[in-house]
Amino acid sequence: MATIKVGDTIPEATFTYVPHSPELEDSAACGIPVALKTDEWKGKKVVLFAVPGAFTPTCHANHLPPYIAKYDEFKAKGVDVIAVIAANDPFVMSGWARFVGLKDKILALSDTSADWSKSIGLSLDLTARGLGIRTARYALIIDDLKVTYVGTEDGPGVTASGADAVLAAL
């Protein structure tokens, strides 16, 4: 059950990610993870969506692709940053980002051990399926560090956390 709600200020966090660079066009390159602090989003409109795992079926085939396809629509609505987070390490997130061609459009952030997602009541225990603790499937619209939309999924599939629902809420 989500503990974060509309009107809340997001808790501080430091995510890691591998920024896009031309060197990463070489599949043997790994890049160097850097930190991104949520306070860098002060004064910005951010769409943050979470997936249980990079390369997992629903996340890879149904959740991420519409965000990529509708990138320009998000930008037209004044979104400064679009980011996807998962409990995967930053190298896996970078590999996924490179595989789907995110480049520098959508940030692929690592929420290590789903710690930040746990802090807002949106982690998911998939230990019984061999996947451990993961980020739940959700989306937030954050404006100047304040939450203006929370879309969570109660079951399988992508609805409230999907690109169309988030675009409608902007």
* 30 annotated active-site: no
CA 124 from chain centre, in angstroms, equals: 15
State the catalytic residue, choosing from 46, 59, 93, 163. 59
As a whole number of angstroms, the distance between CA 8 and CA 52 comes to 23
Distances (CA, A) of 51 to 43, 76, 114, 144: 25, 24, 11, 23
Q: Is 84 helix (H, G, I), strand (E, B) or coil?
A: strand
Return the H-helix or E-strand segment holding 45: strand 45-50
Question: What number of residues does the chain have?
Answer: 170
Which positions are annotated as active-site residues? 59
